[in-house]
Structures are given as structure tokens and as C-alpha cells.
Amino acid sequence: MTNRSCSHFETLESVTDPTSTVCDQCVASGDVWAHLRACLLCGSVGCCDNSKNRHARRHWEDHRHPLIQSIEPGETWRYCFEDQYLVK
């Protein structure tokens, strides 16, 4: 994670609410996850990179939606996959 800027956050007009409170892909396959992340562009919820399936990263790779936020209780950080930029 770097200290560079990220134009993706600068151009984000509105944030879409998370579509779920679980990683639906993990639930469908019978897997578990470590932490949940929500796409700020479409609201898709996926599991973090510490999880077996890394569904949040896969969402970025498949749909090129780079911005996520943690939806874990007490966490408010956001991250851009493309720019590797963390906003606390």
C-alpha cells in the first residue's frame, strides 16, 4: 500500500450500498471467509485476500471495479486495487 493518490476515489460520484451481509459465492460453494469487502461501484460483496477464494479481488479482475471498502464491524477503510491505494 502506497502513499500515492488515486483518481478513482476522486471521480467516485456515489457509493452503492453492499448487496449482502455474507460472501454469497462462498455460501454457494460451502466455503468460509475471513473478512468481507464491498465494491463501492456496484455493491457486490466478496471475501478478502486472506480468504481461500479471494472473491473481492476476483470481482475487480472480472469487472474492473477497483474500489472496495471493508464491511467488517468497526472498520471504515477503503482500498483501490488498481492503484494499491488505502484510505483510512
**Cα-based distances in Å from 58 to 5, 20, 47, 66, 73:** 23, 17, 9, 11, 23
Residue 27 lies in a domain: yes
Which residue range forms the structural domain that includes residue 72? 18-87
Residue 80 lies in a domain: yes
Residue 4 lies in a domain: no
Averaged confidence pLDDT in the chain: 94
| Residues 40 and 15: beta-carbon distance below 8 Å | yes
Residue 35 lies in a domain: yes
Residue pLDDT, tens place only, 28-68: 999 999 999 999 999 999 999 999 999 999 999 999 999 99
Amino acid at the residue 57: R
Q: What is the CATH number of the domain that holds 39?
A: 3.30.40.10
Examine the pLDDT at 69 and tell me if it is beyond 60: yes
14 phi, psi to nearest 5 deg? -150, 155
Q: What domain count does the chain have?
A: 1
Q: Which residue has the cell 494499491?
A: 84
Please tell me the predicted confidence (pLDDT) of residue 10.
87
pTM for the predicted model, two decimal places: 0.91
Residue 59 lies in a domain: yes
Please tell me the predicted confidence (pLDDT) of residue 2.
47
Examine the pLDDT at 3 and tell me if it is beyond 90: no
Residue 24 lies in a domain: yes
Q: Give Cβ neighbours of residue 66 (< 8 Å, ≥ 6 apart).
A: 8, 60, 80, 81, 82, 83
